[in-house]
Amino acid sequence: MNLFEQTLFPFAGILANVLGHVAISRLPLPRGPVRRQFVSFAIGLAIVIYLSFVRRPIPDAGPAQAIPGILLSCLSYSFYGFVFFNALNANVSSLRVRLIRELAHAGPDGIATHELRTRYGREHILQVRLERLLTGGQLYLRDGRYHLKRGGVWWIGRLFALLRQVLLRTDP
């Protein structure tokens, strides 16, 4: 087989991820968008692993020779999968994308600053984010007070705080 085929395995995985997500996003499942994205990511990863084993460049190669190539393909796929995940997630949770879409809905006259803040201000952001954090199991509510569960968002926050300290020497 052409050695270049292996270079294309991650992209076959991304194609499966994107097409899988188009299909999954239309299914009446009770799961949120993030879990659906994990499912389509897993479909793409399975394709990459399958292709890497079945169509490896040197069929007679032992595991020690084959595993680095498979790992490289899987890591490359994961990077592009992360980019795809964030591209979709930006449409759900990015403040900038939300502001741009609010302005698009407003038409050519645009929106005054105070009106934009009324339509889409701190109260709205707080309400939507709290709902998402509660639904996603990152926080829980007890006796009218919010409490932390150390879930994914907490870990992401720790990573960002660490990188900020290392790179910028500033605390969050």
Site for other proteins, residues 23 to 52, rule: CB under 8 A: 25-26, 33
Which sign does the torsion angle of CA 41, 46, 49, 55 carry?
negative
Among 61, 65, 135, 137, binds other proteins (CB under 8 A): 65
Among 58, 121, 135, 137, binds other proteins (CB under 8 A): 121
Whether 149 contacts 138, CB under 8 Å: yes
Q: Residue 125 interacts with other proteins (CB under 8 A)?
A: yes
> How many amino acids of this chain bind other proteins (CB under 8 A)?
81
Name 133's Cβ contacts closer than 8 Å, sequence gap at least 6: 139, 153
Q: Residue 109 interacts with other proteins (CB under 8 A)?
A: yes
146 phi and psi angles, rounded to 5 deg: -90, 135
Among 61, 126, 135, 137, binds other proteins (CB under 8 A): 126
How does 24-39 read in b/e, with b if 16+ C-beta sit within 10 Å?
beeeeeeeeeeebbee
Comparison of 46 and 90: residue with beta carbon closer to other proteins: 90
Among 31, 53, 75, 135, binds other proteins (CB under 8 A): 75
Residue 101 CB, shortest distance to other proteins, in Å, is: 5
What's the token pair of residue 63? 């595991």
Residue 46 CB, shortest distance to other proteins, in Å, is: 18
Task: Find how far residue 72's CA is from the centre of its chain.
Answer: 20
Measured CA to CA in angstroms, residue 138 lies from 73, 131, 132, 152 at distances of 32, 10, 9, 7
Residue 47 CB, shortest distance to other proteins, in Å, is: 16
Residue 13 CB, shortest distance to other proteins, in Å, is: 11
Comparison of 30 and 147: residue with beta carbon closer to other proteins: 147
Q: Residue 108 interacts with other proteins (CB under 8 A)?
A: yes
36/54 Cα distance (integer angstroms): 27
